Structure 1
Amino acid sequence: MAEHFTLANGDQIPAIGFGTWQIPDGDAAYDAVTAALAAGYRHIDTARTYGNEASVGRAIADSGIPRAEIFLTTKLPAEVKSYAGAVASFEETITALGMDYVDLYLIHAPWPWSAIGTDCHAGNAEVWRAMEEIHDAGRARAIGVSNFKVADLTALLSGARLSPQVNQIRFFIGHSQPEVTAYCQANGMVVEGYSPLATGAILGNAEVLGIAERYGRSVAQLCIRYVLQKGVLPLPKTTTPSRMSENADIDFEISAKDMTFLDGLTDTTA
């Protein structure tokens, strides 16, 4: 298994990230990131909206691991759709993290969460201009987007100076978003998959469990391995140290036949 994905700029991202969505700021986030780093993770994913950037940054600083060895992603809140707002929010992020730069900075969504599906192409263009400048200044080594569909990407690219290097989307067995995944992979964007375990909803699926048992693996391991074999970078989240190690132990191969069967599942969270 490849240990890294390579961005269009040549930078490498560790092939499995540790997600921090829904982990509260304070001891919970600090302890989770500390445990993840101790378990060998070198790719940490957070967001301004998660409210835990300060604890994530503190855990990284206290780990003793050189900053250059950790790939850190954070995100601009989806509600921010102006140039000035993006500049101000990034300053808040950098201050909270206690860092000079981030490795990857993403637009969290193409529209505010309170207005999903609305046309924010003009606002995204403003935000992207700010992100390009942040990148040019070396304060974000790479920039990208999250939850963008093909139409959102083509609209952004029509006026962009730099192409997004990553699109982070919801991706798991039964919800693999083939259209946007294929578009990104054909246009040099790494696809990252959040909620590879469907936020836990897939863990009781009998069909997935049956295949996992044949490989002598947990459902979680099968799900994460599936994402990787689709050419997508998984971002599993757990606060349990033993599961952190289990989620990273995926050095096995799902057969082509089983991949085809898994591709055909549609109601894995029912």
Structure 2
Amino acid sequence: MRKTVGMGKSPADAGDDNPNSGSAGGPQPDIPSAAVARLATYLHVLRSMSETGAMVVSSGQLAAAAGVNSAILRKDLSHVGSGGVRGVGYDVSRLVARIALALGVEHNHNVVLAGAGHLGKALINRVGFDRRGIKIVAMVEADPELVGTSIAAAEGELEVRGLADIRAICAEHRVEIAVLATSDDNAQITCDSFVAAGVQQILNFTCVAPRVPEHVYVRPVDFALELQVMAFNATRRHSAQAQVVQRASAPGGRTQSKQRSVGV
């Protein structure tokens, strides 16, 4: 059963014209998952704008920067009580605070990354987690040959620790999220260790679908699957374009096509 992150409902803002719209409280489960993903994108864009000194942004500017249309953006922001002003736009710092609160990332969430192989090293070296409310506090590994070694991370070196340390690490740092980037053979045992330590949110980069209790949410990240979707889209669009060309070259040159393209 999929879980989404959200917050309580607030009055919808009809564009940039509702300065009194607002919402209270922390994350609550009534923002659609697709909107949650887009809100995370808006938050990243807004923080980048803030770093360049921007104080106000229009819905059109934010929508263009995030790669969505303005109508979708306004609907998404209605979930957080955007506080925009018609003809002026949104206060960047205020909107950052509202979205961060809605997503539950107004403070850092501590994360443990499992897997000290090539993928784990690539993930640990990614810069900018802290700007998105994420702090990787530890790295663990099932392979005894890697336990005790040090991994260079974006924010400094981390010592690779064993699976037996997971419970202590999670208790010390109040870890809420774990990342599985282990070998497929070690995915289930590593996942079991996180579950036993009380972690209920797991991001899974392995090809294994680990068995977990009903209250634990595992989100898979499958590169091959995403590439298959992209390949389908490319084939479908090529087919649609070919049909348009074929109709255009037919007698009369009529191009009345109802073909729809599929996008991601």
TM-score range, shorter chain: 0.3 to 0.5
Q: Name the TM-score, length of structure 2 as normaliser.
A: 0.37
Q: Which has the larger radius of gyration?
A: 2
Q: Name the TM-score, length of structure 1 as normaliser.
A: 0.37
- Which structure is higher in RCO with an 8 Å CA cutoff and minimum separation 6? 1
